[in-house]
Structure 1
Amino acid sequence: MLGHTRGKRSPVTCALKCDNACSKAVCNTSSNSYFRDIASAEFSRRSALGVGAAGALAAAVVVVGGADPAAAAGVAAKKHQPGKLAFDAIKPVDAKIDVFDVPEGFEWAPLLRWGDPLFNRSPEFDFENQTPKAQAQQFGYNNDYTDIIRSKNGKKGVLVCNHEYVNPEIMFPAAPANAAEERQRRNIFRNAVGLSVVELKRKDRGQPWDYVRGAHKNRRITLDTEFELTGPAMGSDLLKTKRDRRARFVEGTLGNCSGGTTPWGTILSGEENFNGFFRTAGTSAEDKRYGLENKATAMGWELEDPRFDARGEDFANEPHRFGYIVEIDPENPNSTPVKHTSLGRFKHEGANVIVADNGHVVAYMGDDERFDYLYKFVSKRKYRKNDRRHNLTLLTEGDLFVARFSGTSEAEIDGSGDVPSDGKFDGSGQWIPLVEDGKSRVKGMSVEQVLVFTRLAADEVGATKMDRCEDVEPSLKSGKIYVACTNNSNRGVGSNAKADEANPRTENRDGHIVEITERRGDHTSTRFNWDLLMLCGDAAQGDATYFSGFPADQVSPISCPDNVAFDTEGNLWISTDGAPDGIGYNDGLFRVTVDGRNRGKVEQFLSVPRDAETCGPVIHDDESMVFVAVQHPGEEGSFTEIHSYFPDYVPSEARPAPGEVRAPRPAIVQVYATQ
């Protein structure tokens, strides 16, 4: 990644999380624009034929009241007027500082850390004596999407968390001594990804949680867990392999990033950067469109399991079995999780659903790659309250759409980020059908091809190229949909797509938020209106920013929006991934007012440690509690040069002695009010 990262963005993340995507040619080479039809994508012969504990830890952590003002730009501390969770916005923290910072009146503690034992038989975590068997029984690495489902009395809960990828350089105190140890580590990595389901308990609402070791619902889902395929592509020749000649079941899940919780209590998880785990021939149009290559992978799993080497016919289709939305039932530890082909295959950041007024379930999804697309799924069947068995089938069949945007002031968009003369970035849009009423709406492609090669199908119909749609979530209060476009440094560069009103900045370093309003308030409509809630950045550094008219000098600087969530008042909460590169501060969690006179006001609630990313925000403002997943803390360091001591901070005078192992561990953090 030398020459492709800027500022303090870690090239480690690029290599391990997304296989250095930004250093490679853009996968989407289609020439589609707003209303331009493109030539049919040619399918390779192979694809056409289908061949191919809080209390105990509280004393060990440090609550920091703010960064060194000489190292961080200040934000005027003002009380938030409305809302249940009142706080003074913190100052941004310089990217070289290793703290977890929260507002005055709040404390924080880790709830679950990488390696925490989940079962009675699980061994205690030991940096120097890790094994694949132990990791399969412990909390996984690099926690991302998180939710906590509370019981009615609020004293019990179930936490579900994704584990996206691993950081080998900071997981072990020394390099592997021999080939046998290297192989063991590869198998530890396999068992460190996937998902965790963990029961929680506490004394009362508003109190910090403890996790329950050995609880009935505790579960680890790994690459050895069997998943069942659902939907129209189940049984397709495109998904058959030597181990699964009926295309019915898949071993494991990969690259699990964000997700969502359904009204019937299940968890949706997005398989995102799966391509970097496979070695393929890399010559077909489909392989190239999904970033699949003929090269050794970072994890080296192709050396352990032939299904990760897709160069031969036996497992040529194995990569086609990843890149879906998976559904997990946290209430039933013996249930078989599923992969829903009806929601398409791409680099799913996640999926979030809402029940439309007519009873159909609508899922919104983003494809997290430069110049890829925004999608919507509408279920064929209708939601039935209190009929969980029926509702578990809702995502198996329905219509799949991709978004096309047009702006009201396109002629004024020059890539600078300057606001058009009408005072806002806005326009209308259309949901273009890919699959509708059980039939393909893409010329020359079958339903199975559309759902397995969804990116190529979307290219065909002229979808709008976006700046990395990450989390996409509807507000249950307003019904509006919010799209976090993280960034796209390639926008307008060379022959790449130019700036447009929905993506108005050339070399979009800091990202933006799109707000969508479905026509007539109908989430099943094929028409929508849109505007931009914000163009992120730091006005004090000269960035071209926009906050829906709210004064740019009165907001917390924010860069690279990633995951979003809502509180009970309808405020939008944004976690960031990449702020060190964008504005030079550590990533954090921010609250944004979305309506009224303070629309566009951004207030930073917390800041995560050095080199870390903020993920999986959970907002329980009715209890003045907030939860985040802290991913890859200190990842630019090593055991000889530790960048972060999160989450087990110790006073500076008690730093580890020479030879003592104490390194960063990804963790779920709970933040709670003390007054």
Structure 2
Amino acid sequence: MANSSPRRLLPLVATPGGGGRDAMTCRYRCGDACAHETPNTSGNPYFADVLAGTLSRRGALRAGTLGTLVAVAGVAGTAGPAAAGPAADPGGPDAAAATGARQPGRLRFTAVAPNTADALTVADGYRSSVVVRWGDPVLPGAPEFDFDAQTSRAQARQFGYNCDFVTFFPLGRDRGLLWVNHEYTDEELMFRGYPGGDTAPVELIEIAMAAHGGSVVEIERAGRGGEWRLVTRGRRRYNRRVTARTEMRLTGPAAGSELLRTAADPRGTTVYGMLNNCSGGTTPWRTVLSGEENWNQYFVGGNGVPEDRKPFLARYGVDTAVAVPAGSRRFDRADERFDLARHPNEVNRFGWVVEIDPFDPDAAPVKRTALGRFAHEAATTTLTRDGRVAVYMGDDGRFEYIYKFVSDGRFVPGFDRHNRTLLDQGTLYVARFTGDSPAVEIDGSGRLPADGGFDGAGSWIPLVRGDRSFVAGMTAAEVLVHTRIAADKAGATKMDRPEDIERNPVTGAVYVALTNNTRRTATDADEANPRANNKHGHLLEISERGGDAGATSFGWAVPLVCGDPADPATYFAGYDRGQVSPISCPDNLAIDPAGNLWIATDGNALGANDGIFAMPVRGPERGRVRQFLTVPRGAEACGPLVTADGLSLFVAVQHPGEITGASPDAPASHWPDGGAAQPRPSVAVVWHPGGERIGS
């Protein structure tokens, strides 16, 4: 049914994080990060403090009008990057409306109403089906999933647990490869009577380690439309599992440094496994980039490291006060390298962007140190105007930063040996923002300033290029291993949990999901983070100078301040708040072929299930947010991915039924199999049976 006039504020669900996440999710996904003290204790200035003089609203670069944007190089991971195009209409997003021009790719669906159903609910006229579930066989010899007969050997060959980032590589029209991140495990829901990591059988810990990482699975089109299904017969030569024990290479300027060497790896170039992989991206040479996020929670023994190392661990949220933090998974009981008292450098070997070749299941994944080390969310690539590779990255933490990497070398289509070196040499930047309104008008209430919008200008501050550090007192290797500290020193702007970042190939705008931050106060509110107690989050829109991803200056605006539309502290790019869907806690983003923005939420603080929303970013319906689907009870919406032909929307349904008190003997969800089945994190596909494009 339509949700055209939402006027009633929905009840809030209290959690340690202050948003809508359940306490069980907070514990297993990020180790209750939001319940702990903020790791960023730097004295970095907020926007109000760095406002140097009065910026002219007309003179500032402004993402809100997109007036300086161009149609730049195409999205990485497509058949090939497009050349830079002509400048966008200088009339801005409303110019077409003023002239009466028809907008291409207009969204035409009836919004799904907020709900708490234990189902994947999609917009009227659309259908959905499950493509792959936790435990489905991936590799040859993998057994069918049996919840009560799990083994680590089987799980290493089966589809992993909580699915997050999804990307797709076509193999002709009717076949393709699906890559899926497996972010974390919830042992309380995976195993009956789980006693906790301190006393659990080591085999259960090994199963959890095998359920991390990622999967490559071959899929095929079902019929001629947008439905896809798992290939279950014949040779599936691309299928692959990556786990917490997969051998990987470290490359780039920090590889081999003393900070990455261990007794088991004295050269500092080989590491095993990837952990807590959240969002990611793809490259123009058709590989996956997967970001390690809340990896800090997997280590114990922080109290036993040398005292001079403890501040570096604390800055990344590693507990240095106790030997074994409460609720630890105790991976150290299965592999002692997770005990920092014995192996203090092992923690430095996590927190990277990992590159995986989906077309070669024997190729070792590569951790690219030139991209910096932090709680990686996105790793979205595009090409600069002169053909270099730019990578946008968010650090998902309260008051953390937004980063960009620009390669030294240029992308050469078809020259993979060269292209696969591009992410090892280049410049890593961190973002600094400035607002263009008087500080007194940014009071934390979310009310718009007198000029009618939250916007301003910004710059990319260089931190390191190759072996050259731009941060006083830090070597290049130190900048890359302790990137958060380098960004602190550089005076980067503190943001409200930067998560996914996507560049729109149609408009050139860069969109950042800022999920929430209930620790921000009215005193430290600023124009790009304008709301205190920001439990619902907001979006940032960046317009780089000349539309060039290689530029070091940009304009920005806040097109969406999330929440219940009846709340005056919300903002929908000026669109009528009586005609939009409630939205809370934006997390993952996607762009459809027409340039519309698709937003997945994590931790809806409005009392309803999470879901996926669509929002035009230009034309008369800019800011009209409508909910396209909702995920089952207790789940988070991840992905999402709209295919290049626009016929399919993939959504990763993470942690269905993850609600405090739930257990295998008393599950809170039975999705996707229904009946009395255990909940299984899964990837689903949504399509229109009439062959229409998603949303239109």
Q: Provide the C-alpha distance between the structure 2 equivalents of 1:280 and 1:206, rounded to a whole number of angstroms.
A: 53
Determine if the alignment matches structure 1 residue 470 to structure 2 residue 490.
no
The residue identity in structure 1 corresponding to 2:279 is S
1:275 pairs with 296, 313, 321, which one?
296
2:666 pairs with 638, 641, 649, which one?
641
User: What CA deviation, in whole Å up to 9, does each residue of 1:555-611 have, x standing for no partner?
Assistant: 1110000000000000010000011xx111110001111011111110111000011
CA contact (8 A) 2:17 2:32 kept: no
Paired position in structure 2 for 1:586 = 609
Paired position in structure 1 for 2:99 = none
Paired position in structure 2 for 1:27 = 39
Q: Provide the C-alpha distance between the structure 2 equivalents of 1:436 and 1:307, rounded to a whole number of angstroms.
A: 31
The residue identity in structure 2 corresponding to 1:335 is A
Q: Secondary structure at the match of 2:572?
A: coil
Paired position in structure 1 for 2:316 = 290
User: What CA deviation, in whole Å up to 9, does each residue of 1:377-424 have, x standing for no partner?
Assistant: 000100111212211111111000000000011421000000111111
Percent pairwise identity: 49
Provide TM-score, normalisation by structure 2: 0.85
Q: Provide the C-alpha distance between the structure 2 equivalents of 1:2 and 1:509, rounded to a whole number of angstroms.
A: 11
Paired position in structure 2 for 1:557 = 582
CA contact (8 A) 2:593 2:646 kept: no
Determine if the alignment matches structure 1 residue 150 to structure 2 residue 170.
yes
1:394 pairs with 406, 411, 422, which one?
422
1:253 pairs with 259, 271, 274, which one?
274
Paired position in structure 1 for 2:178 = 159
Q: CA deviation at 1:621?
A: 6.8
Q: Secondary structure at the match of 1:279?
A: coil
Paired position in structure 1 for 2:26 = 14
Q: Provide the C-alpha distance between the structure 2 equivalents of 1:112 and 1:319, rounded to a whole number of angstroms.
A: 32
Q: Provide the C-alpha distance between the structure 2 equivalents of 1:641 and 1:516, rounded to a whole number of angstroms.
A: 46
Superposed structure 1 runs of 4+ greater than 3 Å apart: 5-8, 34-37, 173-181
Q: Secondary structure at the match of 2:219?
A: strand
User: What CA deviation, in whole Å up to 9, does each residue of 1:497-529 have, x standing for no partner?
Assistant: 710000000010100000000012221111110
User: What CA deviation, in whole Å up to 9, does each residue of 1:15-45 have, x standing for no partner?
Assistant: 11111111111100001115879xxxxxxxx
Q: Counterparts in 2 of 1:576-655, with a 5 A limit?
A: 576-579=601-604, 582-620=605-643, 622-636=645-659, 637-649=662-674, 655=675
CA contact (8 A) 2:197 2:330 kept: no
Aligned-residue RMSD, C-alpha: 2.0
Assess, with a 3 A threshold, how the Cα gap between structure 1 residues 559 and 376 changes in structure 2: closer, same or farther. Answer: same
Q: CA deviation at 1:178?
A: 12
1:671 pairs with 686, 691, 696, which one?
686
User: What CA deviation, in whole Å up to 9, does each residue of 1:111-146 have, x standing for no partner?
Assistant: 000000112301110011000001001000000000
> Can you give the 5+ residue segments of structure 1 that lack an aligned partner in the other structure?
38-79, 650-654, 657-661
1:311 pairs with 318, 321, 341, which one?
341
Paired position in structure 1 for 2:110 = 88
Assess, with a 3 A threshold, how the Cα gap between structure 1 residues 156 and 2 changes in structure 2: closer, same or farther. Answer: closer
Assess, with a 3 A threshold, how the Cα gap between structure 1 residues 273 and 388 changes in structure 2: closer, same or farther. Answer: same
Aligned residue pairs, count: 612
Paired position in structure 1 for 2:552 = 526
2:521 pairs with 465, 480, 492, which one?
492
User: What CA deviation, in whole Å up to 9, does each residue of 1:183-240 have, x standing for no partner?
Assistant: 1111100000001011112355424222124510000001221110110001100000
The residue identity in structure 1 corresponding to 2:16 is H
Paired position in structure 2 for 1:439 = 468
CA contact (8 A) 1:575 1:590 kept: yes
2:253 pairs with 218, 232, 239, which one?
232
The structure whose RCO (Cα within 8 Å, separation 6+) is larger is 2
Q: Secondary structure at the match of 2:456?
A: strand
Q: Secondary structure at the match of 1:371?
A: strand
The residue identity in structure 2 corresponding to 1:527 is S
Q: CA deviation at 1:281?
A: 2.6
Paired position in structure 2 for 1:460 = 489
Paired position in structure 2 for 1:71 = none
CA contact (8 A) 2:197 2:329 kept: no
The residue identity in structure 1 corresponding to 2:475 is S
Q: Provide the C-alpha distance between the structure 2 equivalents of 1:575 and 1:418, rounded to a whole number of angstroms.
A: 25
The residue identity in structure 1 corresponding to 2:531 is R
1:347 pairs with 370, 375, 378, which one?
375
Assess, with a 3 A threshold, how the Cα gap between structure 1 residues 259 and 437 changes in structure 2: closer, same or farther. Answer: closer
Q: CA deviation at 1:245?
A: 0.2
CA contact (8 A) 1:271 1:350 kept: no
Which range is displaced more, 636-645 or 245-254? 636-645
Q: Provide the C-alpha distance between the structure 1 equivalents of 2:686 and 2:123, rounded to a whole number of angstroms.
A: 10
CA contact (8 A) 1:34 1:462 kept: no
User: What CA deviation, in whole Å up to 9, does each residue of 1:130-185 have, x standing for no partner?
Assistant: 00001001000000000111123x11100000000011111123346999962111
Provide TM-score, normalisation by structure 1: 0.88
Q: CA deviation at 1:89?
A: 1.4
Q: Provide the C-alpha distance between the structure 1 equivalents of 2:30 and 2:200, rounded to a whole number of angstroms.
A: 25
Q: Counterparts in 2 of 1:38-77, with a 5 A limit?
A: none
Q: Provide the C-alpha distance between the structure 1 equivalents of 2:563 and 2:476, rounded to a whole number of angstroms.
A: 41
The residue identity in structure 1 corresponding to 2:479 is V
Paired position in structure 2 for 1:74 = none
Assess, with a 3 A threshold, how the Cα gap between structure 1 residues 431 and 8 changes in structure 2: closer, same or farther. Answer: closer
1:241 pairs with 235, 256, 262, which one?
262
Q: Provide the C-alpha distance between the structure 2 equivalents of 1:436 and 1:286, rounded to a whole number of angstroms.
A: 22
Q: Provide the C-alpha distance between the structure 1 equivalents of 2:341 and 2:465, rounded to a whole number of angstroms.
A: 34
Determine if the alignment matches structure 1 residue 337 to structure 2 residue 357.
no
Paired position in structure 2 for 1:183 = 202
Q: Provide the C-alpha distance between the structure 1 equivalents of 2:379 and 2:360, rounded to a whole number of angstroms.
A: 21
User: What CA deviation, in whole Å up to 9, does each residue of 1:327-379 have, x standing for no partner?
Assistant: 00001111111000000000001200001111111000000000000001000
The residue identity in structure 1 corresponding to 2:656 is P
CA contact (8 A) 1:377 1:400 kept: yes
Q: CA deviation at 1:7?
A: 7.2
1:513 pairs with 528, 539, 556, which one?
539
Q: Provide the C-alpha distance between the structure 2 equivalents of 1:355 and 1:422, rounded to a whole number of angstroms.
A: 34
User: What CA deviation, in whole Å up to 9, does each residue of 1:264-309 have, x standing for no partner?
Assistant: 1000000000000011435511011001114425211112211000
